[in-house]
Structure 1
Amino acid sequence: MTTLAILIRHRIRRDRIQIPVWLASIAALLLFSALALQDTFGDVTERTLLVRLASANPAIMFIRGVPQGTGAAAVLIFTVLAFLGVLVGLMNTFLAVRHLRAEEESGRADLVASTPAARAFPPLATLLYGLLVNAVLAVAVAGCLLLAGQDPAGSVVTGLALAAIGVVFLTVGGVASELMPSARAANGLAVGAVLFSYLLRGIADAFGTVSDDGLSVESSWLAWLSPIGWAQKTRPFTEDTLAPLLLSLAAAGVFVGVAVLIMARRDTGASVLATNSGRTTALPTLAGPFGLAWRLQWPSTVAWCVGAAAFGVFGGSLGTAVATSDLGNSPIADQLARLSRGGDTLTEAFISVIFTIIGVVAAGCAIQAIVRMRQEESHVGGELVLATPVSRDHWAGSYIGIGAIAVVLVLATGATASVLAALTVGAPEESIEDSVVAAFAQLPAALLFLAVVALVWSVVPRLTAGLGWGLLVLSVFLGIFGALVGLPDWTAELSPFSHSPVPSGADTDWSGGIVMAGLALLAGGAAFILFRRRDVEST
Structure 2
Amino acid sequence: MLALTVGLGFIAAGLPVRGSLLAGAAVGGVGLLFAAAAAGVAQIMPSARSANGTAAALVGVAYLMRGAGDALGTPDQSMLRVVPGWPSLFSPIGWGQRIRPYTDTDLSPLLVLTGSALVLAAVAVTLRKGRDLGDSYLHARDNGPERAGPGIRSVMGLAWRLQRGTLVGWCFTAAVLGLVAGALGPVIRDALVGNPSIAELISRLVPVKANMIDLFTTAMLGLGGVMAAAAGIQAVLRLRVEEVEGRAELLLSVPTPRIRWLTGTLAVAALSTAAIPVITGAVAATVLAVSQAGGSSPDIVVAASLAHVPAALVFPALTALVFAFTPRLSSPVGWAALGVALVLAQFGELLGLPAWLRDLSPFRHSSAMPVETFNLQGALLMSGMALIVAALAGRAIYRRDLTVP
TM-score (norm 2): 0.82
Q: Give a deviation string over 1:188-221, Cα, whole Å, max 9, x none.
A: 4433444444455455555556668876554456
Deviations 1:387-414 (A, max 9, x none): 2333323222210111111111012112
Are the counterparts in 2 of residues 305 and 409 from structure 1 also a CA contact under 8 Å? yes
- SS of the residue 2:101 aligns to: coil
- Whether 2:159 is the aligned partner of 1:159: answer no
Equivalent residue for 2:9?
A: 144
1:119 alignment partner in structure 2: none
Secondary structure at the counterpart of residue 241 of structure 1: coil
| Partner residue in 1 for 2:359 | 493
- After TM superposition, give the deviation of residue 298 of structure 1 in Å: 2.4
**Map 1:27-42 → 2, pairs under 5 A:** none
Choose the corresponding residue for 1:332, options 186, 205, 223: 205
Amino acid in structure 2 at the alignment position of 1:372: R
- Asked if structure 1 preserves the Cα contact closer than 8 Å seen for 2:64 and 2:177, the reply is no
How far apart are the structure 2 equivalents of 1:464 and 1:282? 30
Q: How far apart, in 1, do the equivalents of 2:381 and 2:372 lie?
A: 20
* Structure 2 residue 41 is the aligned partner of structure 1 residue 176: yes
How far, CA to CA, are the matches of 2:141 and 2:67 in structure 1? 33
| CA distance 1:479–1:285, change in 2 (3 Å) | same
Distance change in 2, residues 1:146/1:244 (3 Å):
same
Q: Match for 1:154: what amino acid?
A: G
C-alpha separation in 2, matches of 1:330 and 1:391: 56
Distance in 2 between residues matched to 1:156 and 1:407, nearest whole Å: 39
| Higher mean displacement: 435-444 or 318-327 | 318-327
Aligned partner of 1:369 in structure 2 is 235
Secondary structure, aligned partner of 2:147:
coil
Change (3 A) 1:431 1:323: farther
1:351, CA displacement in angstroms? 5.3
Number of the residue aligned with 2:349? 483
Letter in 1 for 2:6: V
Q: What does residue 117 of structure 2 align with? A: 252
CA 1:426–1:222 in structure 2 vs 1: closer, same or farther (change >3 Å)? closer
User: Structure 1 residues 370, 332: CA separation in 2 closer, same or farther (over 3 Å shift)?
Assistant: same
Cα deviation 1:24-83 (Å, max 9, x = unaligned): xxxxxxxxxxxxxxxxxxxxxxxxxxxxxxxxxxxxxxxxxxxxxxxxxxxxxxxxxxxx
CA contact (8 A) 1:327 1:333 kept: no
* Alpha-carbon shift at residue 235 of structure 1 (Å): 3.3
Taking the aligned partners of 1:241 and 1:434, their CA distance within structure 2 comes to 44
**Pick from 31, 48, 55: which aligns with 1:190?**
55
Show the counterpart of 1:396.
Answer: 262
Tell me the C-alpha RMSD between the 2 structures. Answer: 3.6
| CA distance 1:500–1:379, change in 2 (3 Å) | same
Work out the percentage of aligned pairs sharing the same amino acid. 34
Contact 1:351 1:434 in 2 (8 A): no
Aligned match of 1:406? 272
1:234 aligns with 2:96: no
Distance 2:102 2:274 in 1: 43
Q: How does 1:262-341 map to 2 (within 5 A)?
A: 262-278=127-143, 280-313=146-179, 318=185, 321=189, 326-327=199-200, 330-334=203-207, 337=208
Q: 1:231 to 1:401 in 2, by over 3 A?
A: same
Contact 2:365 2:375 in 1 (8 A): no
Contact kept, 8 Å, 1:230 with 1:244, in 2: the verdict is yes
Distance 2:364 2:39 in 1: 40
CA, structure 1 residues 262+411, in 2 after alignment: closer, same or farther (shift >3 Å)? closer
Comparing 147-156 with 423-432, greater Cα deviation is found at 423-432
Match of 1:526 in 2: 392
Report Cα offsets for 1:369-403 as digits up to 9, x if no partner. Answer: 21112221232222222223333232222101111
- Point out the more displaced range, 501-510 or 360-369: 501-510
Q: Deviations over 1:107-147 (max 9, x none)?
A: xxxxxxxxxxxxxxxxxxxxxxxxxxxxx333322222223
Of 425, 428, 439, 2:305 maps to: 439
Residue 256 of structure 2 corresponds to residue 383 of structure 1: no
Distance across 2 between alignment mates of 1:163 and 1:507:
41
Report the Cα offset of residue 475 of structure 1.
Answer: 1.9
- The farther-off stretch of 393-402 and 349-358 is 349-358
The aligned amino acid for 1:478 is: L
Distance in 1 of aligned mates of 2:302 and 2:90: 37
SS of aligned partner of 2:389: helix
Q: 2: CA distance between counterparts of 1:189 and 1:257?
A: 19
Equivalent position amino acid for 1:358 in 2: G
Structure 2 gap ranges (5+): none
What amino acid does structure 1 have at the position aligned with 2:340?
Answer: L
Shift of the alpha carbon at 1:496? 2.0
Larger radius of gyration: 1
One-letter amino acid of the counterpart of residue 419, structure 1 = A
Change (3 A) 1:454 1:252: closer
The aligned runs of 1:83-94 (5 Å cut-off) are none
* 1:41 equivalent in structure 2: none
1:469 aligns with 2:335: yes
1:461–1:208 distance in 2 versus 1, CA, 3 Å: same
State the Cα deviation string for residues 401-450 of structure 1 (Å, max 9, x = none): 11111111012112212312431443557454442332232222222333
Instruction: Say which is worse superposed, 254-263 or 521-530, in terms of deviation.
Output: 254-263
Across the two proteins, how many residue pairs are aligned to each other? 396
Deviation at 1:503, TM superposition (A): 4.5
- Contact 1:209–1:217 (CA<8 Å) still a contact in 2? yes
Unaligned runs of 5+ in 1: 1-135, 338-343
Matched, 1:243 2:108: yes
With over 3 angstroms needed to count, the CA separation of the structure-2 counterparts of 1:514 and 1:200, relative to structure 1, is: closer
C-alpha contact 1:351 1:438 (8 A) present in aligned 2: no
Change (3 A) 1:447 1:156: closer
Q: Tell me the residue number matched to 1:6.
A: none
CA contact (8 A) 1:171 1:252 kept: yes
Opposite residue 147 of structure 1, the aligned amino acid is A
> Relative to structure 1, is the Cα distance of residues 261 and 479 closer, same or farther in structure 2, using a 3 angstrom cutoff?
closer
Is the alpha carbon distance of 1:152 and 1:413 closer, same or farther for their aligned partners in structure 2, counting shifts above 3 Å?
same
TM-score, normalised to structure 1, is: 0.63
